[in-house]
Amino acid sequence: MIPYLILSLLAMTAIAHASLAIGHPKLRVSLYITLAPLIWASILTAGLRHQTGGDWQVYGQWFNDFDFDEIFNFAVEPAWIAYTLIIRKLGLDFDLYLLATAAISNLLIWKGLHQILRHRHVAMICFGFYCLIVFYSAQMFYIRSGLATGLFLCAVAASRENKLHAGFILFVAVLVHSATALAALIYLCIYLGTRNRFLLLLCILGLGALFSFTSAYFLPQVFLEGEFAGARSLNFKAVLGLLLFATIVFKLDDFKKNYSAEAAAVSIAALTVPYLFDSFEVGGRARMFFSPMDGLPIFFMVTVFVGRRMAVIPLLIASSMFVFIYWSNPYVHELFIPYQTWIARMF
């Protein structure tokens, strides 16, 4: 549990530092004093693990089984196979493969957040919240999702200046993880809807209807009887998600002015995907592509109600509650505890 505790404390420290820097500009403390340790800790936590995380055995088997002659015959995306084979060709073993993937994924996610938001301190808050929760699923369970998420965010950022460049990055991301295509469709629809509140709500309802009818079950039936029905109770996360969504919709123009239309689309997708699209087979995977922006709606709502100068305390309370909710889940304990590392074998 110690590596997770260290990572959580570093993430909360980074969130507090960034919030103080935004609310009190005269407090000039270098961003990288807290950001650099957080990035390093997240890379090492995901990259140094051994037999820890839901994906470890599956990806280990793939690492050994992939072959150049059958790159299009495996039921895995070709770019991921090619990336794996390149790592193998360089002489790296599976342990270093995980470390390299964790490093590339986290650096791409940070770069994408920074470029989309154009504000390092706000990006740092988002990265801190990402490391507290969804990071474990994206980079210690479905590690392709972590890498594809970084590419997806970079594509969103690039779309602002160069659509052709963005399209190429997105194409690579789809070849790493096919759910990127679904995430891109959701993002594009919501982005077009950010022109005004009415159009935004119409786009979200349209997407919900589309994925309902293309699912194995109609959406209301899934809510009442399906796999996710037990998670649809009116719990803390659902209420918070509704409040965050309502705040963004009500203050949509301010949100876009403070950040960007791209940031608004990703944030709204992060709030709506868990509730509208989980009925679709890969809806849960699509959720991960927007999760690095989870912290932005929280930060925005806090600043709306208490202002930027007082934001640090509510943000720390929110981050603490998310940590508690996540690590109180027995399924999470089953996957990640005890934490084991391949470094121990070197001594």
Could you tell me which residues come within 8 angstroms of residue 15 by beta carbon, excluding any fewer than 6 positions away? 124, 125, 128, 129, 295, 315, 316, 319
Predicted confidence (pLDDT) at residue 228 exceeds the cutoff of 80: no
Predicted confidence (pLDDT) at residue 233 exceeds the cutoff of 50: no
| Top mean-pLDDT range of 76-85, 119-128, 263-272 | 119-128
Kindly report, residue by residue over 11-31, the tens digit of the pLDDT.
999 999 999 999 888 777 788
Per-residue model confidence (pLDDT) at position 235 = 58
Could you tell me which residues come within 8 angstroms of residue 58 by beta carbon, excluding any fewer than 6 positions away? none
Kindly report, residue by residue over 282-328, the tens digit of the pLDDT.
456 678 899 899 899 999 999 988 988 899 999 999 999 888 888 88
Task: Please give the mean pLDDT across all residues of the chain.
Answer: 84
Per-residue model confidence (pLDDT) at position 200 = 86
Name the β-bridge partners of 49.
Answer: 341
Q: What is the CA radius of gyration of the chain?
A: 20
- For 15-45, b where at least 16 C-beta lie within 10 A, e where not — what string? bbbbbbbbbeeeeeeeeeebbebbbebbbbb
Predicted confidence (pLDDT) at residue 211 exceeds the cutoff of 80: no
Range of weakest confidence among 108-112, 148-152, 179-183 = 179-183
Total-model pTM: 0.88
Query: What's phi and psi for 341, nearest 5 deg?
Result: -130, 145
Where does the pLDDT of residue 214 fall: very low under 50, low under 70, confident under 90, or very high at 90 and above? Answer: low
Per-residue model confidence (pLDDT) at position 175 = 92
Range of weakest confidence among 55-59, 157-161, 240-244 = 240-244
Kindly report, residue by residue over 139-179, the tens digit of the pLDDT.
888 888 899 999 999 999 999 888 899 999 999 999 999 88
Kindly report, residue by residue over 72-90, the tens digit of the pLDDT.
767 788 899 889 999 988 8
Average pLDDT over residues 122-146: 90
The tokens of 39 are what?
Answer: 């990035």
Could you tell me which residues come within 8 angstroms of residue 156 by beta carbon, excluding any fewer than 6 positions away? 112, 116, 166, 187, 262, 265, 266
Where does the pLDDT of residue 118 fall: very low under 50, low under 70, confident under 90, or very high at 90 and above? Answer: confident
Where does the pLDDT of residue 231 fall: very low under 50, low under 70, confident under 90, or very high at 90 and above? Answer: very low
Predicted confidence (pLDDT) at residue 51 exceeds the cutoff of 50: yes
| Top mean-pLDDT range of 52-56, 173-177, 232-236 | 173-177
User: Are the beta carbons of 204 and 276 closer than 8 angstroms?
Assistant: yes
User: Are the beta carbons of 290 and 273 closer than 8 angstroms?
Assistant: yes
Q: End-to-end CA distance of the chain, in Å?
A: 21
Per-residue model confidence (pLDDT) at position 123 = 94
Distance CA 309, CA 291 (A): 26
User: Are the beta carbons of 216 and 323 closer than 8 angstroms?
Assistant: no
The tokens of 34 are what?
Answer: 């807290």
Predicted confidence (pLDDT) at residue 331 exceeds the cutoff of 90: no
3-state SS class at 178: coil
| Among 40, 23, 47, 256, residue whose Cα is nearest residue 125 | 23
Per-residue model confidence (pLDDT) at position 279 = 47
Predicted confidence (pLDDT) at residue 345 exceeds the cutoff of 50: yes
- Which structural domain, as residue segments, surrounds residue 188? 2-346
The domain tally of the chain equals 1
